[in-house]
Amino acid sequence: MFEVRELRGIAEFERAFALFDAIWHFGAATPPVTVELMRALTHAGGYAAGAFDGDRLVGASVGFLAAGGALHSHVTGAAEPGAGYALKLHQRQWALERGLERVTWTYDPLVRRNAHFNLAKLGARPVAYLPCFYGVMEDAVNRGDESDRLLTEWRLTAPPPPPPPSGDVAAVVALADVGGRPVPGPADADTVLVAVPADVGRLRRTDPGAARAWRHAVRDVLGGLMAQGRAVTGFSGKSAYIVERTIVERT
């Protein structure tokens, strides 16, 4: 059980920065947030919180207020299982106490565990595909990869979405994983599946060509479907996005 509380003061911000560096290993890369920026954001009413296991900081999150009544979670890092979920619940409570109805964030669409966590566990939904949003990143986790991101929205006052399907969904496969490589398929169906690689982090290290192929294939297929107005409604079997054709009511 973690204690999650807001971070205050330079010493705590330094601990959060050290935790982020231990996760991403920035090196010469530009970190997503600095100690000074955490200080400025919280002074201006923004969000910085840490998850503690006793005296140990095992997770941290930094965000800022966004247009349209939202908390935008800019960076969240967790060093122990469960700390990320505890931070998200704290974000939810923090936002509701301030009259905010949404929490938004971006994440790499190729990372399966994050997609499952965001869509299946939290019930958040992607609302935009953002190609190479941060440019080419140079931290140890993302080095050399293009930073495509899904802008994701967690509606805090909406009814929770239905539970995710238990197993694979019967649908047309618009992008398949065949022997570790992306293979496009037909996408003109009411419900389609868009696969992502089993472990994109490993691919970046062992087969950069395959990682690039997945990046561009998911950008073309998932990004293309979302650009057409189709909705990402879930994550099937911890391996593929469920994308549905939206129904427009006639008046």
CATH number at residue 65: 3.40.630.30
Residue 135 within any structural domain of the chain = yes
What backbone torsions phi and psi does residue 92 show, to the nearest 5 degrees? -60, -50
Claim to verify: residue 146 and residue 191 sit in the same structural domain: no
Claim to verify: residue 91 and residue 148 sit in the same structural domain: yes
pLDDT at 247: 54
Claim to verify: residue 105 and residue 215 sit in the same structural domain: no
Claim to verify: residue 127 and residue 191 sit in the same structural domain: no
Structure tokens at 234: 């879930």
The total number of structural domains in the chain stands at 2
Residue 160 within any structural domain of the chain = no
Residue 94 neighbours by CB distance under 10 Å: 18
Out of 106, 129, 155, a domain closes at 155
pLDDT at 169: 64
pLDDT band at residue 217 under the 50/70/90 scheme: very high
Claim to verify: residue 143 and residue 183 sit in the same structural domain: no
Residue 161 within any structural domain of the chain = no
Report the amino acid identity of residue 189.
A
- Lowest mean pLDDT of 168-177, 196-205, 215-224, name the range: 168-177
pLDDT band at residue 165 under the 50/70/90 scheme: low
- For 31-56, what is the mean pLDDT? 97
pTM above 0.85, yes or no: yes
Taking CA atoms, 170 is separated from 105, 114, 187, 232, in Å, by 29, 23, 14, 16
Quote the CA–CA distance of 217 and 182 in Å, as a whole number: 7
Taking CA atoms, 62 is separated from 34, 39, 65, 216, in Å, by 10, 10, 11, 29
Residue 88 within any structural domain of the chain = yes
Claim to verify: residue 86 and residue 37 sit in the same structural domain: yes
Out of 90, 122, 155, a domain closes at 155
Claim to verify: residue 51 and residue 88 sit in the same structural domain: yes
Residue 183 within any structural domain of the chain = yes
Claim to verify: residue 141 and residue 225 sit in the same structural domain: no
DSSP-derived pairing of the beta strands 102-107 and 70-78:
parallel
Tell me which residue range forms the domain holding 221. Answer: 172-244
Quote the CA–CA distance of 108 and 91 in Å, as a whole number: 20
Helices 10-24 and 35-43: crossing angle, nearest 10°? 130
Residue 65 within any structural domain of the chain = yes
Evaluate whether 57 touches 39 at the Cβ level (below 8 Å): no
Q: 5: which strand partners? A: 50
What's the DSSP call for residue 166? S
Residue 109 within any structural domain of the chain = yes
Question: Chain centroid to CA 61: how far?
Answer: 13
- For 99-126, what is the mean pLDDT? 96
DSSP-derived pairing of the beta strands 181-184 and 172-178:
antiparallel
Claim to verify: residue 19 and residue 72 sit in the same structural domain: yes
Q: 176: which strand partners? A: 183
Claim to verify: residue 143 and residue 33 sit in the same structural domain: yes
Claim to verify: residue 111 and residue 204 sit in the same structural domain: no
Above 70 in pLDDT, residue 168?
Answer: no
Residue 108 within any structural domain of the chain = yes
Claim to verify: residue 177 and residue 103 sit in the same structural domain: no
